[in-house]
Amino acid sequence: MSFSDHFPVWDKLSGAQQKILSEHVIARTFPKGTVIHEGGLGCTGLLVVGSGQLRAFILSEDGREISLYRLLDRDICLFSASCMLRSIRFDVSIEAERDSRVWIVPAEIYRRMMEESAPLANFTNELMANRFSEVMWLMEQILWHSMDRRLAAYLLEQSALEGGGVLTLTHEQIARDLGTAREVVTRMLRYFKNEGLVQLSRGCVLLTDADRLSAIAQ
């Protein structure tokens, strides 16, 4: 597993640019639960996921978390290096949801290379636009869509990530990801249980009718 295989525009960089990246990129391993980047406290750099799973989230003034998106193998996080984009200030925190291997490109190195490489600059702009689209989609879900629809979609998404219908999730975790109160999640899960859509046990949600959940989500 090499950095060059995980960096989408590697082949479009010059030999000198590839050499600079290779010399400065840092390989790190983060255990599950590690906060890799904390809001506006510093500039960690560009994160490239080699393996594992990261979660990007924002923290409200009263300490509530809202998950924005997840990063899987070969995904790239720019918000952890937003200091290199002078017009953008977005205080996102990044946490390892699973044991993860990550490459970190120092922000100053990446910014300098963007100024020299049109393909890299275009890729960065496209990546940033895609991330903002994901965030705006999430805001739309929170503002306009009912909780049953959001929860059904969330459970199906987690099932796809886990590769099965048994989800090791607490009500607190779900509430955090959906940006709502735990009590709201508990009431809705109990409703889903009564409808035969899920089974509940401590720290676990079992999907029993994915088709009906999909119909609710849509």
Same domain, 36 and 106: yes
Cα 172 vs. chain centroid, distance in angstroms? 18
The pLDDT score that the predictor gives to residue 154 is: 92
Contacts of 12 (CB under 8 A, 6+ apart): 117, 119, 120
Same domain, 47 and 138: yes
- In whole numbers, what is the pLDDT of the chain averaged over residues? 87
Say which residue the tokens 């989800």 belong to: 167
The pLDDT score that the predictor gives to residue 118 is: 94
Same domain, 156 and 96: no
The DSSP-derived string for 5-71 is HH-TTGGGS-HHHHHHHHHH-EEEEE-TT-EEE-TTSS---EEEEEES-EEEEEE-TTS-EEEEEEE
Q: What is the mean pLDDT of residues 77-103?
A: 81
Same domain, 188 and 127: no
Mark which of 143, 160, 176 sits at the end of a domain.
Answer: 143
Based on the structure, what is the number of domains in the chain? Answer: 2
User: CA distances (Å), 30 to each of 33, 56, 128, 143, in order?
Assistant: 8, 15, 24, 34
- The span from the CA of 102 to the CA of 28, in Å, is 5
Mark which of 94, 119, 143 sits at the end of a domain.
Answer: 143
CATH value at residue 58: 2.60.120.10
Mark which of 77, 111, 143 sits at the end of a domain.
Answer: 143
In the structure, what pLDDT confidence band is assigned to residue 90 with cuts at 50, 70 and 90?
low
Interval 25-39: pLDDT, tens = 999 999 999 999 887
User: Residue 95 pairs with which residues in a beta bridge?
Assistant: 35, 55
Same domain, 128 and 157: no
CATH value at residue 208: 1.10.10.10
Neighbours of 118 (CB within 10 A): 10
Q: Residue 205 pLDDT > 90, yes or no?
A: yes
**Nearest by Cα to 16 from 24, 7, 28, 26:** 24
Domain with 189, as residue range(s), is 145-217
> Strand, helix or coil at 126?
helix
Same domain, 174 and 121: no
- β-pair type (204-207, 166-167): antiparallel
Q: Residue 83 pLDDT > 80, yes or no?
A: no
Same domain, 128 and 31: yes
Same domain, 175 and 127: no
